[in-house]
Structure 1
Amino acid sequence: MFDLGSATASMSRLVTGVRDDQLGAPTPCNDWTVTQLLAHIHQFTAVFTTNARKQTARPPTTLVDDWRTSMPHDLGELAEAWRQPSAWEGRTSAGGVDMDAATNALVAVEELTVHGWDLARATGQIFSPADDELSRVDEFVTMFGGAENGPYGPAVPVPPDADRVQTVIARTGRDPGWTR
C-alpha cells in the first residue's frame, strides 16, 4: 500500500495553474492539446477512483466547464479512495487490462506522474515529483514495457548528466527535452 496524495496534490496544482490562453497549446502527448490532456486527466481520475471503490461509472470524455474546481476536488477523492484498505483488494481494470488492485494503483501513479510532466511542460510550470513516485513509474515501465519499451514508445536516449526526472520520463518513451 502507498499513498497517492503527493501525486494528486501535484496534479491539482498543475491543473489550477493552466491559463485559458494555454488550452489550445500542444503537449508532449501526440496530437493532444492542453484541453485534451486535461480531459484525459479528468477521465482517468474518475476511473481510478471508481476502481478503488470497486464501483463502475461512466467517466467524462470531454473537459467539463468547471474543471478548475472539479478536477482538484476529484483528485483529492482519488487519493482518499486509495487510502482505504479495501481499495488494495481484489482485481480491477485499467485501459481494458485486468489486473490486481495494487497494480492498478501503480498505473494510477504512472498516469499522474507522466501526465503531470506533460501538463507542466506544455504550460511552462515546474514539475517536481517525489522520488517514490518516480520509483513507481520505473516499476510500471519495467512491468509493462521492459528496459527498451515504455508505455508511450521506445525509450528515448538521455545524456549522462540527465537528472532522475529526465531519465524516468525518457524510459516511458517521452522526450525529456520536449518544449512547447
Structure 2
Amino acid sequence: MSEHAALIAPAAAEFAGILRGIGETEFAARTPCAEYDVRALLNHLLYWGPWLEAAGRKAPPPEVATGEAEAALVGPGWLDVAERQTARLVDVFGTPGAWQGMTALGTAQMPASIVGDMVLGEFVFHGWDLARALGRTIDVAPEAAEAVYVSAVAMGEQARSMKVYGEEVTVAEDATAFERALGATGRNAAWTL
C-alpha cells in the first residue's frame, strides 16, 4: 500500500536509534526471536537488507557467496553499514513508486507492496526485538502499528509455514494494535530478558 510509504522514515528513525544503543557486550543477549541472539539478529538484518532494497528498486538481487547462517556481517563498522542500509531502504520505500506493481525478492515474484510491508515490519518488529533484548522500549506510531498488524494477519499463514513467524500468541481483548501485531507474528508482548 503506497500510503504506507509515509510510515517508513519514522519507523526507520526509531529503529536506527535502537541500533545506536547496541554495544559489543550486548551481542550475546537473547532476543524474543528464539533462534537469534542480538548478533545473529543484526546479521539477519544486514544480510536481507540488500535483498529488500533490490526488490524495492525492481533490480536484480545481490550476488552473495554464502547464505545468512554462514555470513559474518557483524564486525567492525557494522553500525555504519546498518545505518547506511537503513537510509537506503528509507530512500527506496519512502516513495510511493516502490510500493507499486510487481517485483522479485530473490526468485519469488510478488506485489511490491508486500515487500514494502516487509521492510516496515523489519523496522518495527525487529526494532522491538532488539529493544527488548536491551531492556528498552520502542515507540511505534499508531498508524505503523495498524499497518504491521494488517500485514502480519495477511501474511500469517504463509509466514508460519515458512517458519518466519511463530504460532500466533493470543492477546487480551483490549490489546493495542501493536500488541495484536506482535501476537500475530508469534511474539509475546510481555516477553522479558
Q: Please tell me the TM-score bracket, short chain as reference.
A: 0.7 to 0.9
Matched, 1:47 2:51: yes
**3-state SS of the aligned residue for 1:93?**
strand
Alpha-carbon offset, residue 111 of structure 1: 2.0
Matched, 1:179 2:192: yes
Gaps (5+ residues) in structure 1?
Answer: none
Matched, 1:30 2:34: yes
Q: Which has the higher helix share?
A: 2
TM-score, normalised with respect to structure 1: 0.86
Matched, 1:16 2:16: no
Alpha-carbon offset, residue 158 of structure 1: 2.5
Alpha-carbon offset, residue 95 of structure 1: 7.2
Give RMSD over aligned pairs: 2.3
Matched, 1:57 2:62: yes
Whole-angstrom CA distance in 2 between matches of 1:154 and 1:177: 16
Matched, 1:168 2:172: no
Alpha-carbon offset, residue 78 of structure 1: 0.6
**3-state SS of the aligned residue for 1:145?**
helix
- Which AA in structure 2 matches 1:16? R
Whole-angstrom CA distance in 1 between matches of 2:133 and 2:39: 11
Alpha-carbon offset, residue 96 of structure 1: 5.8
Partner residue, 1:110? 121
- Which AA in structure 2 matches 1:117? W
TM-score, normalised with respect to structure 2: 0.81
Matched, 1:127 2:138: yes
How has the CA–CA distance of structure 1 residues 42 and 161 changed in structure 2, closer, same or farther, with 3 Å as cutoff? same
Gaps (5+ residues) in structure 2?
Answer: none
Matched, 1:76 2:81: no
User: Are the equivalent residues in 2 in contact too, given 1:17–1:125 (CA < 8 A)?
Assistant: no
Provide the aligned length of Structure 1 versus Structure 2.
178
Whole-angstrom CA distance in 1 between matches of 2:177 and 2:94: 27
Alpha-carbon offset, residue 86 of structure 1: 4.1
